[in-house]
Amino acid sequence: MKILNFLLRVVFGAIGIQILNAVFISQNVAVFVGLNAVTLLTVGSLGISGLGLLYGIAAFGIL
């Protein structure tokens, strides 16, 4: 069950990253998180807070 939970968080996290990237691009905000093994592992292990962490790091990097 834990592996299924992890995989579901990875799938929904990847969908969330794609949606947030599209929203930020349409609003001309220069914050972009790519899909790779590190970002998927972060979202899979931390969940929605990992998604926020990734975008927080990306936003802090452009300041």
Is-contact 54 42, C-beta < 8 A?
Answer: yes
Q: According to the model, what pLDDT value does residue 62 have? A: 73
pLDDT at position 63 = 61
Beta strands in the chain (DSSP E): none
Residues 3-59 pLDDT 10s: 999 999 999 999 999 999 999 999 999 899 999 999 999 999 999 999 999 999 999
Give the side-chain half-sphere CA count within 13 A for 9: 19
Q: Which residues contact 59 (CB under 8 A, 6 or more apart)?
A: 31
Nearest of 56, 41, 29, 30 to residue 14 by alpha carbon: 41
